[in-house]
Amino acid sequence: MILLLSISITFIIATLVMIVASLLAKKTIMDREKNSPFECGFDPKGSARLPFSLRFFLIAVIFLIFDVEITLLLPLATILNLSSISTWAFTGAVFIAILLLGLYHEWNQGALEWAY
């Protein structure tokens, strides 16, 4: 019963905080200057809402994936003393093989080509 009471009190407090925050965060004054993009006090030369290059985004995501994979490979050097050399080498080789297969797949699909 105490657990149910504490959960319901927590839920009520969280709901009240969210309602109060949404009421206080509403912008009531809509100003043209605040809604326009800021370029050092001057009027913008072009549209600030230009479409983003999907190819650049895809290259950035691939870079991020391989960057995270490298951070997963770094602990292999520290566990060399804690495990046998065959287990260590097999784990590293399998991990690098999976990365290379992913890279080959991305290359084969044409995701690494910047322009056609």
User: How would you write the pLDDT of the chain (116 residues) with one tens digit per residue?
Assistant: 889 999 999 999 999 999 988 888 766 566 666 666 665 666 666 666 667 777 788 888 888 888 888 888 888 888 888 888 898 899 889 988 988 898 898 889 887 777 65
Give the ranges where 46-110 is alpha helix by DSSP (H). Answer: 54-73, 75-78, 85-109
Q: What share of the chain is helix, strand, coil (3-state, %, to 5)?
A: 65, 0, 35
With respect to residue 88, please indicate whether it lies within any of the assigned structural domains: yes
Structure tokens at 90: 């097999």
Report if residue 86 sits inside a domain: yes
Domain contains 80: yes
Alpha-carbon gap, residue 67 to 89, rounded angstroms:
21
Is residue 99, in this structure, part of any structural domain at all?
yes
Residue 8 lies in a domain: no
pTM of the model: 0.49
Q: Structural domain of residue 67, as residue ranges?
A: 54-109
CB neighbour list of residue 43: distance below 8 Å, 6 or more residues apart: 36
pLDDT of residue 15: 96
What is the structure's pLDDT at 9? 95
Domain count, the chain: 1
Q: CA–CA separation, 51 vs 35, rounded Å?
A: 19
User: Which pLDDT score is estimated for 99?
Assistant: 86
Q: Is residue 22 in some structural domain?
A: no
CA–CA distance, 116 with 64 (Å, rounded to integer): 23
7 domain residue, yes or no: no
Is 9 a member of any domain? no
Distance CA 110, CA 88 (A): 33
What was the pLDDT predicted at 6?
94
